[in-house]
Amino acid sequence: MKHATFDPTSVCALMPMGLIYDDDGIIQFVGPTLGKLRRADTLIGKTISEVFSVRDNGRGTGDGPVPLSTKLYLNFTSGISTPLKGMAIAIDGANLNILNLSFGISILDAVADYRLTSGDFAHTDLAIEMLYLVEAKSAVLEETKQLNARLQGAKVAAEEQAYTDTLTGLKNRRAMDYVLDRMLRGGVHFALMHLDLDYFKSVNDTLGHAAGDTVLQRVAKILLEETRGDDLVARVGGDEFVLVFNKFVDHDRLMRTASRIISRLEEPIPYQDTVCRISGSIGITTTEFYASPSADKMIHDADLALYGSKHEGRAQATLYDPDRHDGGMPEAQIAPSKR
Amino acid sequence: MHGMINRAIQCFLRDTYGAQAWLDIAENADLGFENFEAMLSYPDQITLDVLGRAARHLHKPVETFLEDLGTYLVSHPNVEAIRRLLRFGGENFTEFLYSLNDLEGRAKLALPDLEVPTLSVESCGDGTFRLRCSSAMPGFGYAMVGVMRAMADDYGALVFLEHSGWMDSGEEVITINLLEVAYAEGRAFDLFGRIGDGL
């Protein structure tokens, strides 16, 4: 078959990103869209390798400057590099070759960099469908991201609420169970202090619930001030609190901390034109007492010690003693009474 | 690090070492939750903590652990989607290697927030290729060795892979010796495949 004439214009209508070069690699004709990337008159007359760096997968054919009939990866050697994909073939008997190009993943940047429009793509090119999909996907993704952020925020708030005592802002029993469980599983040493307010009921009965609430909020403030950031303070009942001291098991120091808390609780709490007076009884245990400590056992033993404090006249702290308390009857308190 | 990556690490640990192993590692790393969400973002340190704890928990060097992770990502049926997306890279292992140059761009098309390592592959002749990998996550090159090993199996190619160390810039270099493109049958791949098939 003989090519009587070869019309580059019609070839490039079919392949607007195409170009035609001779067997020496000199560019002869440039398709209209490629002409938007680099002006045609700056390309024509130059060699392919002046304009592009060309790589292939090593399996092209032909002796020319561009491997034929294989997938090519090209970049412009100057200006915006715009990675392109391409393939070249020889036109038999014409001493000419066609190199057709496409954007691949650089399409989004290219459309922006060169202000391309839908008319710049061949009718058979899927580029517009691709751009449409990317645009639609991005819109959906953005909505999803915002929804995720809202849901995550709501989840964090709900969890926080579920672990918080709303009156005092302290942690609640559920939070205490969770923290104890984690610490025990992690093998952390800690002390557990059970505090029961003394004379709180009489404040409630004589001055009303609003006074009671004021007292509880004041107690919360004191307890937070007397503990460290990684300790836990939980309100586990009407006037009952549990304090967990992380990695703090020294008996003397625990007893001193307990005494200090009690003396601070005993400072009169102003309410309207009067003051409320309370105190507190404390029972303490530490993980050191147990071969394999459990939350239930420790709470129980702190209770026994607390009962000891109450039994001895309140307003004092008692350290759990396996010998005495497991025997049944609580015995003498350890802390000196402040009253 | 993107939730997608954290989620992949979680799935790897769960599917390979069991649900309990994952829970232990999550607790050790002090995550405060049991499941990564794929569509949320997490501080990078969390990912590093999980990887460090996991390697210790499993008594494995981090490098080996990351390589196993890479293999898992391509070969485990629970994450079939990743293997499929990688197979879009080309019809044979050579084309796949070159497609790694486009991987970051392709991933960004899909998920702009996803921090994919920058990969560049070049042929050194004689069937030897050099893959350079730079990532916010040091050691990612080892995961890539696992990915490449599994993809070679997937394509049926016979390769010799080696992590060749780190450049001063922090880039990791992997050397790939492609001994035979069509050594074995390889796994079938069809461009058409509904998401969810084979899961």
pLDDT of residue A329: 46
Nearest residue, CB atoms, B39 vs list A58, A73, A148:
A148
Evaluate whether residue B70 is within a structural domain: no
Neighbours of A209 (CB within 10 A): 10
Whether A288 shows a pLDDT value over 70: the answer reads yes
How many angstroms away from the CA of B73 is the closest CA of chain A? Answer: 23
- Measured between beta carbons, the chain B residues lying within 8 angstroms of A185 are 27
pLDDT of residue B193: 75
Q: What is the ipTM of this complex?
A: 0.75
- Measured between beta carbons, the chain A residues lying within 8 angstroms of B40 are 148, 152
Neighbours of B143 (CB within 10 A): 28
Listed range (A58-67, A189-198, A227-236) with the worst mean pLDDT:
A58-67
Q: d(Cα B48, Cα A66) in Å, to the nearest integer?
A: 46
Mean pLDDT score of chain A: 90
Higher pLDDT residue, A181 or A326? A181
* Residue to substitute from B7, B23, B30, B40, interface A, most A β-carbons within 10 A: B40
Judged by CB atoms closer than 8 Å, whether chains meet at B27 and A182 is answered as yes
Evaluate whether residue B69 is within a structural domain: no
For residue B95, the chain A residue with the least C-alpha distance is A57
Judged by CB atoms closer than 8 Å, whether chains meet at B110 and A152 is answered as no
**Residue of B100, B119, B116 lying closest to B108 (CA atoms):** B116
Token code pair at residue A88: 């070249």
Q: Which residues contact A266 (CB under 8 A, 6 or more apart)?
A: A277, A278, A279, A315, A338, A339
Evaluate whether residue B199 is within a structural domain: no
- Measured between beta carbons, the chain A residues lying within 8 angstroms of B39 are 144-145, 148
* Mean predicted confidence (pLDDT) in A311-335: 73
* Mean predicted confidence (pLDDT) in A177-194: 92
* Mean predicted confidence (pLDDT) in B2-17: 93
pLDDT of residue B198: 44
B48, B97: one domain: no
Q: SS3 for chain B, per residue?
A: CEHHHHHHHHHHHHHHHCHHHHHHHHHHCCCCCCCCCCCCECCHHHHHHHHHHHHHHCCCCHHHHHHHHHHHHHHCHHHHHHHHHHHCCCCCHHHHHHHHHHHHHHHHHHCCCCCCCEEEEEECCCCEEEEEEECCCCCHHHHHHHHHHHHHHHHCCEEEEEEEEECCCCCEEEEEEEEECCCCCCCCCCCCCCCCCCC
* Mean predicted confidence (pLDDT) in B70-76: 94
Whether A1 shows a pLDDT value over 80: the answer reads no
Judged by CB atoms closer than 8 Å, whether chains meet at B123 and A58 is answered as yes
The secondary element (H helix, E strand) that includes residue A50 is helix A48-51
Could you say which of A239, A250, A273, A296 is catalytic?
A: A239
pLDDT of residue A161: 87
Q: Does A69 touch chain B (CB under 8 A)?
A: no
Residue type present at position A238: G
Q: Which residues contact A322 (CB under 8 A, 6 or more apart)?
A: A289
* Mean predicted confidence (pLDDT) in A193-215: 94
Scan residues 110-169 of A and list those with Cβ closer than 8 Å to B.
Answer: 134, 137-138, 141, 144-145, 148, 152
Q: Could you give the C-alpha distances from A260 to A32, A52, A224, in angstroms and in order? A: 87, 81, 13
pLDDT over 70 for what percent of chain B? 97
What long-range pairs does A332-335 form, CB within 8 A, spacing at least 24? A333/A308, A333/A309, A334/A255, A335/A255, A335/A258, A335/A259, A335/A262, A335/A309
Whether A333 shows a pLDDT value over 60: the answer reads no
B51, B96: one domain: no
Q: Fold for domain A8-122?
A: Beta-Lactamase (3.30.450)
pLDDT of residue A305: 95
Of the three residues B60, B81, B100, the one that is the final residue of a domain is B60
B21-58, pLDDT tens digit by residue?
999 999 889 888 889 988 888 999 999 999 989 999 99
Nearest residue, CB atoms, A104 vs list B94, B95, B102:
B102
Q: d(Cα A260, Cα A254) in Å, to the nearest integer?
A: 10
**Residue of B86, B65, B64 lying closest to B75 (CA atoms):** B86
pLDDT tier at A4, thresholds 50, 70, 90: low
Pairing of strands A84-91, A96-102: antiparallel
Classify residue A138 by its DSSP letter.
H
* Mean predicted confidence (pLDDT) in A243-253: 95
Q: d(Cα A333, Cα A90) in Å, to the nearest integer?
A: 103
- Measured between beta carbons, the chain B residues lying within 8 angstroms of A108 are 109
Helix (H, G, I), strand (E, B) or coil at A106: helix
* Residue to substitute from B91, B100, B101, interface A, most A β-carbons within 10 A: B101
Token code pair at residue B50: 């999980």
Nearest residue, CB atoms, B105 vs list A105, A145, A185:
A105
pLDDT tier at B195, thresholds 50, 70, 90: low
Nearest residue, CB atoms, B106 vs list A73, A105, A186:
A105
Residue type present at position A60: G
* Residue to substitute from A59, A70, A71, interface B, most B β-carbons within 10 A: A71
pLDDT of residue A56: 84
What is the residue range of B20's domain? 3-60
Whether A258 shows a pLDDT value over 80: the answer reads yes
Evaluate whether residue B110 is within a structural domain: yes
pLDDT of residue B196: 52
**Residue of A187, A190, A176 lying closest to A286 (CA atoms):** A190
* Mean predicted confidence (pLDDT) in B131-160: 93
Q: Between A and B, how many residue pairs show a Cβ–Cβ distance under 8 A? A: 35
Q: Backbone dihedral region of B65: left (phi > 0), alpha (psi from -120 to 50 degrees) or beta? A: alpha
pLDDT tier at B67, thresholds 50, 70, 90: very high
Please list the residues that pair with A101 across neighbouring strands.
A86
For residue B124, the chain A residue with the least C-alpha distance is A58
B40, B106: one domain: no
Q: Assess contact for B63 and B70: CB atoms under 8 A.
A: no
Instruction: State the total domains in chain B.
Output: 2
Question: Is A198 an active-site residue?
Answer: no
Judged by CB atoms closer than 8 Å, whether chains meet at A134 and B106 is answered as no
| The CATH number of the domain covering residues in A173-325 | 3.30.70.270
- Measured between beta carbons, the chain B residues lying within 8 angstroms of A83 are 102
Whether A73 shows a pLDDT value over 60: the answer reads yes
Nearest residue, CB atoms, A134 vs list B37, B102, B109:
B109
How many angstroms away from the CA of B72 is the closest CA of chain A? Answer: 27
The radius of gyration of chain B from alpha carbons, rounded to an integer in Å, stands at 17
Judged by CB atoms closer than 8 Å, whether chains meet at A57 and B110 is answered as no
Judged by CB atoms closer than 8 Å, whether chains meet at A73 and B27 is answered as no
Q: Backbone dihedral region of A171: left (phi > 0), alpha (psi from -120 to 50 degrees) or beta? A: beta
pLDDT of residue B199: 41
Nearest residue, CB atoms, B109 vs list A105, A182, A185:
A105
Domain spans of chain A? 8-122, 126-162, 173-325
pLDDT of residue A323: 84
Token code pair at residue B156: 């049926």
Judged by CB atoms closer than 8 Å, whether chains meet at A73 and B40 is answered as no
Q: d(Cα B173, Cα B163) in Å, to the nearest integer?
A: 6
Is residue B183 packed enough to be buried (19+ CB in 10 Å), middle (13-18) or exposed (0-12)? middle
Evaluate whether residue B72 is within a structural domain: no
Q: What is the CATH number of the domain that holds B111?
A: 3.90.1520.10
